[in-house]
């Protein structure tokens, strides 16, 4: 590893404040994953009970499922740009406030239109959380544990999905439907609300303070938060303009944005509509509560994938984990498609027992999470220069959410028109494309300092020599 002016931070052992930043950064992703699952459960209730003001057709079902995703795209782009223009600290906590308020107000929506509005506010906050939290964790992390720490921030999604399964099932089994869905919607606000104050107290990252703001004193304060000292004498490097950034990093953007797009096309469609997919394999559930439990099975399997990724991120590397994840997704989707017997797009049976079919399908969620769902979040927080790190991450995340919005909106109609068998085959092809993009365009950041990865300080040295 080449010498870096931030070597005291890069060489630190894992500290309590690393863990504190992980907790502070991770709670927004609890809400993100909680919402991904819980909106499917809420849609199930609306369809089953036709509650006044919340009656759905195919159009409104797609809009409700994708509404928070659409505004998340805006949040990722806007907060990504602001994080580089104004600094990480100035806006940290704003996104958590928005997503908490949106989730809380959703529980009190008087009708479907207001529910859509509040979910759009929540989505904007969720989107903003991606580039800021990922970058803060990346810029504070030591080299040895950086992949693990950024992955741990994202692994709060696993906890969020388990909480969503539990809250959804308990609410559906014990509460009247008009109360149950409101409880499901509101609980997602709690975790993010607990870290708003903590986020406002996190110092500006030393890298941003020194390399972008040119404030060495603020950089030293950030380093002292971890008990480190900086060895930097120059306060800033030459900043790229946006066209220069695109000209230098366009291949990386294809890698980080393109793979995230492919991943979210597969993940969000199967995630939001997990209930109908699993029910089509196991048979019609006896109640909404049972359908929620059915829907949770793949997510429970996926939970272990998050933490497998955390454990192996700095050993195997991001590129290996992402490639094998996409490949295994393709293989498993193709197997489930091959064993599904259809008559006029309707499933009439399987070539193997239904339980085995479900087990193979559920494994796709394990390899999604021990694969591109985690790594597409980690890599963009490492490979872009400090002055465009949140922008690069925001563009990549927004590309993913565009895929998610397309998938979530079209999934119900595709299930009806081409059927699950052909839909899974399509997802297998998309996964193969994701693997190829990873191999061709994604850089391996394992065990390298951020400055070694981006070359931003080396570029400045060359300019000084000339």
Q: Are 447 and 383 in contact (CB under 8 A)?
A: no
Two structure tokens written together for 407: 């998938």
How far is residue 312's CA from residue 320's CA, in Å, rounded to a whole number?
Answer: 10
Angle at 92 between CA 88 and CA 93, to 5 degrees: 180
- Give the closest residue to 393 by CA, choosing from 403, 381, 378: 381
Please provide the average confidence, as pLDDT, over all residues in the chain.
91
Query: pLDDT digit string (tens) for 358-367?
Result: 999 999 999 9
Q: Which pLDDT score is estimated for 139?
A: 96
Helices (H) then strands (E): counts for the chain: 23, 2
> How far lies 132's CA from each of 72, 92, 127, 242, 321, in Å?
13, 7, 10, 19, 24
Q: Rounded to 10 degrees, what is the CA torsion of 147, 151, 153, 155? A: -160
DSSP lists the bridge partners of residue 340 as: 350
Least confident of 43-52, 105-114, 147-156, 255-264: 43-52
Q: What are phi and psi of 312, to 5 degrees?
A: -110, 0
pLDDT band at 1 (very low <50, low <70, confident <90, very high): very low
For the whole model, what pTM was predicted? 0.91
Give burial (CB, 10 Å; 0-12/13-18/19+) of 416.
Answer: exposed
Higher pLDDT pick, 465 / 316: 316
Least confident of 24-38, 75-89, 118-132, 383-397: 24-38
Query: pLDDT digit string (tens) for 127-178?
Result: 999 999 999 999 999 999 999 999 999 999 999 999 999 999 999 999 999 9
DSSP lists the bridge partners of residue 400 as: none
- Give the closest residue to 65 by CA, choosing from 417, 423, 405: 405
Q: What share of the chain is helix, strand, coil (3-state, %, to 5)?
A: 80, 0, 20
Contacts of 69 (CB under 8 A, 6+ apart): 123, 268, 401, 404, 405, 408
How far is residue 136's CA from residue 193's CA, in Å, rounded to a whole number?
Answer: 19
Classify domain 7-465 at the CATH superfamily level: MFS general substrate transporter like domains (1.20.1250.20)
Across 91-102, average pLDDT: 94
Asked if the model's pLDDT at residue 253 lies above 70, the reply is yes
Write down the domain spans for the chain: 7-465
If phi > 0 it is left, if psi is from -120 to 50 it is alpha, else beta; for residue 55 that is beta
């Amino acid at each position: 590893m080449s010498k870096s002016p931030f070597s005291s931070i890069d060489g630190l052992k894992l500290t309590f404040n690393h863990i504190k930043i992980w907790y502070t950064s991770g709670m927004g992703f609890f809400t993100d994953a909680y919402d991904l699952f819980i909106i499917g459960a809420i849609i199930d209730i609306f369809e089953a009970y036709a509650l006044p003001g919340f009656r759905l057709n195919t159009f409104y079902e797609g809009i409700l499922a994708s509404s928070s995703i659409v505004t998340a795209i805006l949040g990722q782009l806007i907060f990504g740009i602001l994080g580089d223009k104004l600094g990480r600290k100035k806006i940290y906590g704003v996104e958590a406030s928005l997503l908490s308020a949106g989730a809380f107000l959703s529980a009190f929506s008087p009708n479907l239109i207001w529910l859509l509005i509040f979910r759009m506010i929540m989505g904007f906050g969720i989107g903003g959380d991606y580039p800021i939290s990922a970058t803060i964790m990346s810029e504070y992390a030591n080299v040895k544990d950086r992949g693990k720490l950024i992955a741990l921030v994202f692994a709060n999604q696993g906890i969020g999905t388990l909480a969503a399964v539990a809250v959804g099932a308990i609410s559906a089994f014990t509460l009247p439907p008009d109360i149950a869905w409101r409880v499901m919607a509101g609980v997602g606000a709690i975790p993010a609300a607990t870290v708003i104050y903590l986020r406002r107290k996190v110092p500006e990252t030393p890298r941003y303070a020194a390399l972008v703001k040119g404030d060495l004193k603020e950089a030293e304060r950030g380093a002292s938060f971890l008990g480190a000292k900086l060895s930097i004498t120059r306060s800033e490097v030459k900043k790229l303009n946006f066209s220069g950034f695109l000209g230098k990093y366009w291949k990386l953007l294809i890698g980080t944005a393109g793979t995230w797009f492919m991943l979210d096309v597969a993940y969000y469609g199967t995630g939001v509509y997990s209930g109908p997919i699993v029910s089509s394999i196991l048979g019609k559930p006896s109640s909404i509560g049972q359908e929620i439990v059915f829907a949770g099975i793949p997510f429970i399997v996926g939970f272990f994938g998050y933490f497998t990724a955390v454990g192996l991120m700095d050993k195997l590397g991001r590129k290996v984990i992402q490639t094998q994840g996409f490949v295994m997704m393709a293989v498993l989707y193709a197997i489930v498609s091959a064993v599904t017997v259809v008559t006029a797009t309707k499933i009439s049976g399987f070539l193997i027992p239904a339980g085995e079919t479900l087990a193979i399908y559920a494994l796709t969620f394990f390899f999604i999470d021990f694969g591109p769902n985690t790594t597409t979040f980690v890599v963009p927080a490492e490979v872009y220069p400090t002055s465009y790190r949140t922008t690069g991450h925001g563009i990549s995340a927004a590309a993913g959410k565009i895929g998610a919005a397309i998938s979530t909106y079209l999934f119900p109609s595709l299930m009806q028109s081409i059927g699950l068998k052909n839909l899974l085959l399509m997802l297998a092809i998309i996964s193969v494309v994701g693997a190829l993009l990873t191999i061709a365009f994604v850089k391996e950041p394992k065990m390298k300092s951020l400055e070694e990865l981006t070359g931003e300080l080396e570029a400045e040295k060359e300019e000084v020599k000339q």
